[in-house]
Amino acid sequence: MTVHHKTPHAFKAVFQTFDDLADGAAGPARLAALRAELARLNVDGYVVPRADAHQNEYVPPCEERLAFLTGFTGSAGTVIVLQDTAALFVDGRYTLQAPAQVDTGAFTVVPLSQTRPDAWVEANLRRGARLAYDPWRTTIDGRDRLAKAVGAAGGILVPLEADPFTAIWPDRPEPPRAPVRLLDLSVAGEDTAAKLRRVQEKLTEAKLDGALISDPHGAAWLFNMRGGDVAHTPLPLAWCIVPREGLPDLFLEPLKLSHEVRAALAGHARLHGTGDLDTVLAAFAKDRKVRLDQATAPVRLAGLIEAAGGTVDKGTDPIALLKASKNPAEIAGMRAAHVRDGLALVRFLAWFDAEAPKGHLTEIEAVEALETFRRGTGNLTDVSFPTIAGAGENGAIVHYRVTRKTNRAIHPGELFLLDSGAQYPDGTTDITRTLAVGTPTAEMRRHYTLVLKGHLALTRAVFPEGINGAQLDPLARQYLWAAGLDFDHGTGHGVGAGLSVHEGPARISQLGHLALAEGMILSNEPGYYRTGAYGIRIENLILVERRTVEGAEKPCLGFSTLTLVPYDRRLIDLSLLDGAEREQVDAYHALMAEALAGDLDEVEREWLTQATAPL
């Protein structure tokens, strides 16, 4: 595909929107309506997490309760509403975005680094007050933290089965019913029968009678199925009960299943509608020990198991760790997707370098162009998340999402932070590049190079088995720390193979306590953000592989890079790189030039040759 000659008007976005997804100005009226409904239900306060019953990162439109109430559209957050105050809790990604989106006269934005929701409840709930929570959208751990805080404040914690938003949200969207499709074995790499045996072996080892799979990603992996119930992740919303022996029970809305898909799934599970979950789970749980994932299972179902005479074993979803280590077919699919994605990015960057210095290109036009280049690969199924495209000061907002209201031109002399990803039938991508428009300042180049040095250090790490993400995280921060700088987000998250771009349980962060294992795919994305000026982030996806180390006393692991897109050489301060780092950049650029050049036209190939020239 060759579109470098097109004007911005020739591009369009299909898989993302630039409209304001929520209305912060409506927040005060909706807050008043919610308080009135809570009073009718005889409670004094209510906890509104940004969550659905599965704790998904992306939730169906009908579950965007937090955005509807406040106007905040981030992927994580919680509001606690009391009679005379309301607080919105956000992490470091959203400390700039949240105050810009919500009416701060109605909602106090509280960074989690300052106060946790449970501590705030303990300090603000009046004695005797009844604080309600939603047992479908609250995990066991979440309920327990609330209970401790409410008890310390002298209040009463109340599960509220009724959803108060039903009364105050008249045009609430309908639940999703996207069709389910099945993966070919050449893409999945392992059939359902083999996966089920491995899950049941885990249950036997843990002396469990079964597990409730509350994370739909687990059911999607187990049954090699995909869907479209949430944005940007090919996910069918589903529940599953896996017994230690025998067929599992799979719960899906019947309208999602064609006759062919139903027949195929029926060979591996008893199929039910989601409305049958209570009855089937209660019958299964009697006198049995059932694993519930503490991160995703709703407290509502834990109570049902206990009421039925079963025992809740709170722990990790037995599928999560199996899914995190990709098999050879999944790895091959991810590599193929990254070659395809690399071609799209190189074509985009060649076009961007020609257009951006003119000073007329906007953030939205850049996003539209990038998606168009990706669609030009022929099999883009979605973006893996809404593209983060921040020029100048907008780049300092870690999870900035451009809207028609915030859209601005990209000017010469600025940095442009572009964090994007794609969903292909065989893999998922996630890449960030920080781009110089015109001539960058010495300060920009210094900060970019400090970020790059940490990114390179993590890439070349070799470590014994058993090392976790928290132990590796400082490698990416060391050069920023030495300069008195840091970034307020994790260094890396797990990535699914044709599933969620943010996949647990592995991560590289100060909270990443799971040992990394062969076959895991993670991001490597250190950054630096100067509020009001610019943001810098460099991100590749990396695969955990075996490493041979002479004299090693333990098996060793290291990383292989999947992403194939050049770093911006204009932003590299060569005086800050040592010889090994220069060789590392040159080797990476030579690898991608060899992988991509043959599929580019003459203009694009010339751009890539210059972009990957030895430092």
Average pLDDT over residues 480-502: 97
In this structure, how many other beta carbons lie within 10 angstroms of the beta carbon of residue 604? 22
Instruction: Indicate whether 294 and 342 sit together in one domain.
Output: no
In degrees and rounded to multiples of 5, residue 50 shows phi and psi of -85, 85
In this predicted structure, the answer to whether residue 1 has a pLDDT above a threshold of 60 is no
Average pLDDT over residues 32-50: 97
- From 295, 323, 351, give the residue that closes a domain: 323
What span, in angstroms and rounded, lies between the C-alpha atoms of 320 and 520? 11
Where is pLDDT greater, at 405 or 566? 566
In this predicted structure, the answer to whether residue 3 has a pLDDT above a threshold of 60 is no
Instruction: Indicate whether 353 and 214 sit together in one domain.
Output: no
Instruction: Indicate whether 262 and 399 sit together in one domain.
Output: no
Helix axes 117-124, 140-153, angle to 10 degrees: 30
Beta partners for residue 615, in sequence order: none
Instruction: Indicate whether 354 and 434 sit together in one domain.
Output: yes
Strands (E), 244-352: 249-251, 270-272, 289-293, 311-315
* Per-residue pLDDT at 23: 82
Instruction: Indicate whether 299 and 397 sit together in one domain.
Output: no
**194 in the Ramachandran plot: left (φ > 0), alpha (ψ -120 to 50) or beta?**
alpha
Q: How far is CA 614 from the centre of its chain?
A: 34
What span, in angstroms and rounded, lies between the C-alpha atoms of 432 and 489? 14
In this predicted structure, the answer to whether residue 6 has a pLDDT above a threshold of 70 is no
In degrees and rounded to multiples of 5, residue 406 shows phi and psi of -95, -10
* Per-residue pLDDT at 93: 83
Instruction: Indicate whether 293 and 360 sit together in one domain.
Output: no
CATH code where residue 237 lies: 3.40.350.10
Domain that holds residue 585: 328-606
In a domain, 13, yes or no: no
In a domain, 495, yes or no: yes
- From 275, 302, 323, give the residue that closes a domain: 323
Beta partners for residue 433, in sequence order: 418
Q: List Cα–Cα distances, 316 to 54, 277, 293, 326, 576, in angstroms.
A: 14, 21, 5, 18, 43
Average pLDDT over residues 373-402: 95
In a domain, 251, yes or no: yes
Task: Flag the least confident range among 87-96, 336-345, 481-490, 595-604.
Answer: 87-96
Q: Which tens digit of pLDDT belongs to each residue from 424-470?
A: 999 999 999 999 999 999 999 999 999 999 999 999 999 999 999 99
* Per-residue pLDDT at 19: 87
In this prediction, residue 253 has a pLDDT band, given cuts at 50, 70 and 90, of very high
- Token readout for 169 is 């949200």
In a domain, 333, yes or no: yes
Average pLDDT over residues 348-361: 96
- Give the number of domains in the chain: 3
Count CA atoms within 13 Å of residue 5 on its CB side. 5
Average pLDDT, rounded, for the chain:
96
- Token readout for 538 is 């460099």
Task: Flag the least confident range among 3-7, 455-459, 550-554.
Answer: 3-7
Q: List Cα–Cα distances, 1 to 12, 374, 378, in angstroms.
A: 16, 10, 9
In a domain, 17, yes or no: no
Query: What sign for the dihedral angle of Cα 499, 505, 510, 516?
Result: negative
Using an 8 Å Cβ cutoff, are 434 and 571 in contact? Answer: yes
User: Which of 196, 155, 143 is CA-nearest to residue 306?
Assistant: 143
Which residues does 256 contact at the CB level (< 8 Å), separation at least 6?
A: 177, 178, 179, 180, 227, 236
C-alpha angle with apex 53: 271 to 195, nearest 5 degrees?
Answer: 45
Burial of 276 (0-12, 13-18, 19+ CB in 10 A): middle
In a domain, 371, yes or no: yes
CATH code where residue 426 lies: 3.90.230.10
What span, in angstroms and rounded, lies between the C-alpha atoms of 345 and 606? 15
In a domain, 147, yes or no: yes
In degrees and rounded to multiples of 5, residue 522 shows phi and psi of -135, 165
Average pLDDT over residues 295-321: 96
Return the H-helix or E-strand segment holding 395.
none
Q: Is the pTM of this model over 0.85?
A: yes
Instruction: Indicate whether 570 and 471 sit together in one domain.
Output: yes
Instruction: Indicate whether 378 and 489 sit together in one domain.
Output: yes
* Peptide bond preceding 505 in cis form (omega within 30 of 0): yes
In this predicted structure, the answer to whether residue 276 has a pLDDT above a threshold of 70 is yes
* Per-residue pLDDT at 512: 95
Average pLDDT over residues 63-89: 95
Average pLDDT over residues 474-483: 98
Instruction: Indicate whether 369 and 507 sit together in one domain.
Output: yes
